[in-house]
Amino acid sequence: MKRVGKTIVFDSPPYVLSSAGIVGKKEGEGPLGLFFDKIINDGYFGEKTWEKAESRFLRTAIDEALKKASLKYHDIDVLLSGDLLNQCCASTFACVDMSIPFLGLFGACSTMAEGLVIGSVLVESGAVGKAICSASSHYCSAERQFRFPLGYGAQRAPTAQWTTTAAGAFILGYDSTQSSKICITHALIGTPCDLGIKDAANMGAAMAPSAYNSLRQFFADTNTTFGDYDIVATGDLGQVGFDMVTELFLRDGVTELANYNDCGLLIFDIDKQDVHAGGSGCGCSASVGASYIMHRLRNGDWKKAVLASTGALMSPTSAQQGSNIVGVTHIVSFEVRA
């Protein structure tokens, strides 16, 4: 592997051996419903708490991805995972019985791409044979942790987004049977960006500058632009952040923006589903990436895709102490190879 600018270029790109996205009822009713591997209508997923339910969504995504690749836990050398819960507990309790070496990540909603960046390097370098990269979020566990207990029925701001109840998992490795054609060709580690946003009901605005910075760097390093990919998807900027990124590129004279999209806008019909500015959460880009984007690449509709997962690095404590909300955006690009 080599570096061009800040971008990691894989000489022997690791393959996506399989992937799976599992979502809740509301996400299943959205425009991408048909693409998800499983839709779980019960928010508790048979568990006693939302936190345990989130672990089960994540575990189900991992199990589903393994099943599709005919792999077992013992075939996997490392599991990279993260989520929004304090101390990343959804990931811990999803994987505790799997006996797979585990690297816990915290990238807020950028975690899916963060895991894919590190996982790709681990696989291409030979440090591991096969890696699972995964992430999850749950509307109910996130709301009560970051905002208000759901029972309060607090009113949401128009700029607020709806944390997706969703999980996604990718299995990376080399495929001796050549049954997988999708590989990860490039990766970029994002740099935290703080433009002074403090409004926790406007995460799109907090993350948009980092998305713009990371994408601009990535395009410069790879000498590409939006039109060179079938989709360039940010993670969960929602309508507010999406419009900001669009405006920033337009100011640069980049007008070919037809292939730019956002997983938070793809997963919900924001006019009909009462989700205000769109979807969010680690599970948003994880499930849309692992299900919808991989499906379009796998069936030949698309040849190249960029996933730029966007994260807002903050906690209720940091917000209460007056700290800004810091954005970060990690990027991976996928390509179908014959």
Binding-residue pattern over the window 134 to 173 for a second copy, x denoting contact by CB under 8 A: -----------x----------------------------
Q: Which range of residues in 38-46, 178-186, 269-277, 311-319 is near a second copy by CB under 8 A?
A: 311-319
Is residue 197 near a second copy by the rule CB under 8 A?
A: no
How far apart, in whole angstroms, are the C-alpha atoms of residue 325 and residue 338?
A: 43
- Quick one: 190 or 278, whose CB is closer to a second copy? 190
DSSP, collapsed to helix, strand or coil, labels residue 310 as: strand
How far apart, in whole angstroms, are the C-alpha atoms of residue 230 and residue 195?
A: 30
Pairing mode of beta strands 78-82, 162-163: unpaired
Question: Would you give the end-to-end CA distance of the chain in angstroms?
Answer: 21
How far apart, in whole angstroms, are the C-alpha atoms of residue 136 and residue 114?
A: 13
160 Rama sector, left if φ>0, alpha if ψ -120 to 50, beta otherwise:
beta
- Quick one: 131 or 297, whose CB is closer to a second copy? 131
How far apart, in whole angstroms, are the C-alpha atoms of residue 227 and residue 249?
A: 13
Is residue 128 near a second copy by the rule CB under 8 A?
A: yes
Is residue 191 near a second copy by the rule CB under 8 A?
A: yes
Binding-residue pattern over the window 67 to 106 for a second copy, x denoting contact by CB under 8 A: ----------xx---x-xxxxxx--xx-xxx-xxxxxxxx
Is residue 326 near a second copy by the rule CB under 8 A?
A: yes
Q: Which two tokens stand for residue 241?
A: 């952040």
DSSP, collapsed to helix, strand or coil, labels residue 78 as: strand
Least Cβ distance, residue 1 to a second copy (angstroms): 5
15 phi, psi to nearest 5 deg = -95, 150
Least Cβ distance, residue 135 to a second copy (angstroms): 12
Is residue 190 near a second copy by the rule CB under 8 A?
A: yes
Binding site residues, a second copy, CB under 8 A: 1-3, 6, 8, 48-49, 51-52, 77-78, 82, 84-89, 92-93, 95-97, 99-108, 114, 117-118, 121-122, 124-129, 145, 187-192, 194, 313-318, 321, 323-324, 326, 328
